[in-house]
Amino acid sequence: SEHISIQMSSDTPMQVDAYLYTEYEYTMNTGYLYEENTQTAHIWVELANTEGHRLLDGHLGNGEMALYLDGQKTDYTISEGKAWIENTYSQSSTAHLEVRFMDPAGNYYGIREAEEEITVPVVEKEEETDWFFWSVIGLFIIAVAGVFGISYKKRKGQQTIRRQVSDLSSTAQVETAAPKNDFCGKIVVYVIHNKNDIDYPPESINLFARCRRESITLEWILDTCNLPLDLKGAEKIIFKPGADRSLVVKNNSRASVLIGRALLTKGQSYNLYYHEKVTFIFDQEDAEIEVHYKDLKPNER
């Protein structure tokens, strides 16, 4: 505060009424501090005279000034010669500030309104993982993979079918080129020797009448003739009908097989013609079997 002295002189007594008015020329400054956590702007207003003295440190700080924010009178606190107010801002905005003086003994000259741009920092939010979106993408990929898998299987199946049809067609052509042979004639089975030295009478089978199959085995022949001989590997000796009414013999067993005096090679096929015989020798079972291939008589057909 400043002290003012008034001196007067008069030759006669008189009554003096003195009225003192003060005049202030000031500048108005504004600013703010922003708290992101609470989204609160702490706005301050400072009034200073031409000498740089803060007016709010004087008598104005005793409630002689009213402060308005956006046209609404608001309460404020004084700190460090500044008037502070608080307001919440969720986005950038402009704060309109106005001061009004209620000092009856003072005149104030200066700008009474100001605008302060409140800038709210843009907080970049971390993008949350959209699990629904990625779930849809995952299901889409699985569905596409399933469609391709099914399509691949269908194409593969079609190729297999075409290949099978082609194979069947080729087989049909081969069969057409080479007509299927049927069993002809008959066979007569002789047990030359067996482990128990039992004499078995010769047994015959009319192949033409009894065989409606593609092949027969020595085991089948022995069973059909009711010969109780347990010869290991007899099921691996195969007979098939061949060309020119022959009988094809193939040995896949360990037995020794002869046509006449010729020893047959295991796994190879040989033709047996009418009035020829094939001999089977089983060393482990100490048995010898002969199968004679003969033509049918007219009354046997």
pLDDT digits (tens, 9 = 90+) for 225-236: 999 999 999 999
Return the pLDDT at 167.
Answer: 47
Q: Which of 21-25, 74-78, 139-143 is predicted with the least confidence, judged by mean pLDDT?
A: 21-25
The residues with which 106 forms a beta bridge, in sequence order, are 22
Cross-strand bridge partners of residue 109: 25
22-118 and 186-300 share one fold: no
CATH classification code of 186-300: 2.60.200.20
Residue 173: predicted pLDDT: 47
pLDDT band, very low/low/confident/very high, at 80 (cuts 50, 70, 90): confident
Side by side, the strands of the sheet bearing 40-49 are 77-79, 82-88, 40-49, 22-35, 106-109
Closest of 253, 225, 250 to residue 238, by C-alpha: 250
Please state the three-class secondary structure of the chain as a single string.
Answer: CCCCCCCCCCCCCCCCCCCCCEEEEEEEEEEEEEECCCCEEEEEEEEEECCCCEHHHCHHHHCCEEEEECCEEECCEEECCEEEEEEECCCCEEEEEEEEECCCCEEEECCCEEEEEECCCCCCCCCCCCHHHHHHHHHHHHHHHHHHHHHHHHHHHHHHHHHHHHHHHHHHHHHHHCCCCCCCCEEEEEEEECCCCCCCCCEEEEHHHHCCCCCEEHHHHHHHCCCCCCCCCHHHEEEEECHHHCEEEEECCCCEEEECCEECCCCCEEEECCCEEEEEEECCCCEEEEEEEECCCHHHC
Instruction: Name which CATH class applies to 22-118.
Output: mainly beta
AA identity, residue 54: R
Q: What is the pLDDT of residues 57-69, one digit of tens each?
A: 877 778 788 889 9
Confidence check: pLDDT of 162 > 80: no
The residues spanned by each domain of the chain are: 22-118, 186-300
Structural tokens at position 142:
């699985």
**Where does the pLDDT of residue 179 fall: very low under 50, low under 70, confident under 90, or very high at 90 and above?**
low
